[in-house]
Amino acid sequence: MKSSQDDIDLLNSYLKGRLGSADAAALQERLSIDSELYADFQDLKNIQEGIRLSVLKDKLEMMKKWENEAITKPKKNWGKWSLFTFLIILLGYFLYSIALKSKQEVPEEYKTLYASDFDKSLILHSTKRSINQVDTLSGAQRRAYEMYSIQLFDDAIPLLNELWVGQKDTLALFYLGVSHIGVGDKKQGLEILQKPELIKYSEQTNLFINH
């Protein structure tokens, strides 16, 4: 810009529409004969429009930022909720594991009985399956008793219960009581073992009742 500061101020006033008609006419006259002033006028006009649009561009960038925030925000929330859900699941798993563990664990006072004397004292049936000898166990009894024999009490309990309810199998009832204690349900196990139907197994039930 080669014009003086006063001329620039004059051009600014003209572009802002603040010159009186006489001053405006005088400036127009000068612009028509002074090529340097005219060049500055043209530059100033473009710069002024550029300034206007640069403000609008800044506002546009601001709006785009809002859009990005709107897009990223749910993700942030999603991340937060994912973490929360994950922690809840983890907590649930731990609580379940603890509950399962405490339930499945043989009570302390019976641990030796289940570990060392189970086969000798608590398996009362015999299985004989060969060409010459067969036992009298039904298929349902065999499945239930075998589960019990290998101490898979969770699997054995429904099968043994079926045998007791459906067939009044007292051995199944005895095994059911032992199985309940084996999964940590001492109360129900002892209730079963004290049933009068199990009087014939009193030697074995006393191992629990009089422990």
Partner 1 sequence: MDWILKVKTNENEALKEIYGLCRQDCLVWLQRDFGCSEDDALDIFQMSVLILYDNVIKGKLTTLSSNIKTYLFGIAKNKALEYLRDKRKNASDDITLVVNYVVQESQDDTVDHQISAAIVSLDKLGDPCKSVLQLYYYHDMSMEEITEKMGYKNADTTKNQKYKCLKRLQSIYSEHILKSTQD
CB of 42 to partner 1, least distance (A): 8
Q: Which is nearer to partner 1, 17 or 139 (CB)?
A: 17
Indicate whether 52 belongs to the interface with partner 1 (CB under 8 A): yes
Q: Which stretch binds partner 1 (CB under 8 A): 41-49, 84-92, 145-153, 156-164?
A: 41-49
Indicate whether 1 belongs to the interface with partner 1 (CB under 8 A): yes
Q: Which is nearer to partner 1, 5 or 136 (CB)?
A: 5
Per-residue exposure over 88-119, b if at least 16 CB sit within 10 Å of its own CB, e if not: eeeeeeeeeeeeeeeeeebbeebeebbeeebe
Q: What are phi and psi of 134, to 5 degrees?
A: -130, 145
CB of 8 to partner 1, least distance (A): 7
Q: Please answer whether residues 173 and 195 qualify as being in contact, where contact means their C-beta atoms are separated by less than 8 angstroms.
A: yes
Question: Using CB under 8 A, which of 25, 26, 51, 90 touches partner 1?
Answer: 51
CA distance 149 to 90: 34
For residue 168 the two structure tokens come to 């009044």
Indicate whether 136 belongs to the interface with partner 1 (CB under 8 A): no
Q: What are phi and psi of 190, to 5 degrees?
A: -70, -35
First to last CA, the chain: 109
Number of residues interacting with partner 1: please give it, by CB under 8 A.
Answer: 26
Site string for partner 1, 66-85 (x = CB under 8 A): xx------------------
C-alpha closest to that of 152 among 108, 191, 203, 114? 114
Indicate whether 8 belongs to the interface with partner 1 (CB under 8 A): yes
Q: What is the binding site for partner 1 (CB under 8 A)?
A: 1, 5, 8, 12, 16, 43, 46-57, 59-64, 66-67
